[in-house]
Amino acid sequence: MVLAFAAILSSNRRVSLWLIVVLLGVIEGITEFLPISSTGHLLIAERFLPAQAGLTELFNVVIQCGAVLAVLPLFPERLRQFVFHWREPATRDYLAKIAVAFAITGAGGFVLEKKGFKLPEELLPVAVALAVGGLLFVLVERWLRGQSQADLVTWPIVFAVGLGQLLAAVFPGTSRSGATILLALLLGLNRVKATEFSFLVGIPTMLAAGGLKVFKTLRHAPSAGASENWSMILLGSVVAAVVSFLAVKWLLRYVQTHTFVAFGWYRIGLACGIGVLLLVQPVTKQGRKHATPNAARSAQRFVAAGSARGLTAGFDRFEFATGHHDPGITQTFAFALHNDGVPHSDDRLVEFTR
């Protein structure tokens, strides 16, 4: 469905920006907690959607936080336990386990960032991770058939969940919830408790990661906040939050009487669909084209305009990234700005439209 909808939109360059934002919000809301990989689906959508003028990495981060916050009301018993019964040993034990799993992921993420790790944006790794995860769901559920599962989160499960979140951070398409739920199931936790613990660990993890990205974005480029399309960010966040709430509410009921086999087959089917697309159409970075002479001249004019507006200060290399060059069609040119030709965390993407 995602591939079909995105392909239809990609054929229409005049599609409204708000419609793209709504679609991305729906995708984020559905896939953030379901074990099918939100990162993988967003990469797929961004590959086929029209050039998303005005939508930056900050947009993706903020709508993700909206989707995460929306599911908190779905755990009222746990929230009451944490707030009003935090002195009880069982509550402290559960909170400590969430904190340790979160700390393991945070420490690993810190190391990855220091080593300059960047998430791959190609679709092939996404397809492979989707297929592997889907196959594992099918096999693990078959292996668990007839076995009794426990409802106590043990410390081995805690460490596995923390490492599972790191695995998902390194391999797009793995799914954070998918990896952590699978590992918890393998270690003997039942589906309901595995899903709950995965989500409760994921909430602080994703909020912390999102908050850090927002802080770094605004710190390195203070003018970024003023140039953001906040109305579209708000729209995307609201859509993601509403859809996420409904999706997680459905999933929490679903796992009480069903296995994860259906999600496994969905992942395998989506991976096969991506594989077909890779065979039919070589995948490059979304929207990237070789600049024609006319486009190159236009790009130079837009860079000059950006320089006059102070957007290119402190940078000495401009990489022409995207553009629609058909006569009569709105042209959008995006430039990755680098300090010294080497990607940095403070690199910026400047877009000019005429």
- pLDDT computed for residue 100 by the predictor: 97
State both tokens at 222: 């203070």
Q: What is the pLDDT of residue 26?
A: 94
Give the CA distances from residue 240 to residues 33, 61, 252, in Å, rounded to whole numbers and listed in that order: 11, 11, 18
> Is pLDDT above 60 for 167?
yes
Amino acid 1: pLDDT? 53
Q: Write down the domain spans for the chain.
A: 2-280, 293-353
Task: Give the pair of three-digit tokens for residue 28.
Answer: 């984020």
Pick the residue with more confidence: 354 or 132?
132
SS3 119: coil
Does the structure show a pLDDT above 90 at 45?
A: no
Contact 97, 82 (CB under 8 A): no
How many Cβ atoms are within 10 Å of 236's Cβ, its own excluded? Answer: 29
Residue 341 pLDDT more than 60?
no
Mean pLDDT of the residues in the chain? 79
What does the chain come to in residues?
A: 354
Per-residue model confidence (pLDDT) at position 237? 92
Spatial distance between the Cα atoms of 307 and 92, rounded to a whole number of angstroms: 55
Distances in Å between the Cα of 140 and the Cα atoms of 38, 72, 165, 248, 277 are 22, 29, 19, 22, 29
- What is the distance between the alpha carbons of residues 95 and 82, in angstroms, rounded to a whole number? 8
Of 38-42, 123-127, 202-206, 341-345, the range with the lowest mean pLDDT is 341-345
**In the structure, what pLDDT confidence band is assigned to residue 51 with cuts at 50, 70 and 90?**
low
pTM to 2 decimals? Answer: 0.75
Collapse the DSSP code of 342 into the 3-class scheme (helix H, G, I; strand E, B; otherwise coil) and give the result.
Answer: coil
pLDDT of residue 113: 86
pLDDT confidence band for 146 (50 / 70 / 90): confident
Give Dmax over CA atoms of the chain in angstroms.
Answer: 71
Name 320's bridge partners.
Answer: 335
Chain segment 320-331, per-residue pLDDT in tens = 444 443 333 344
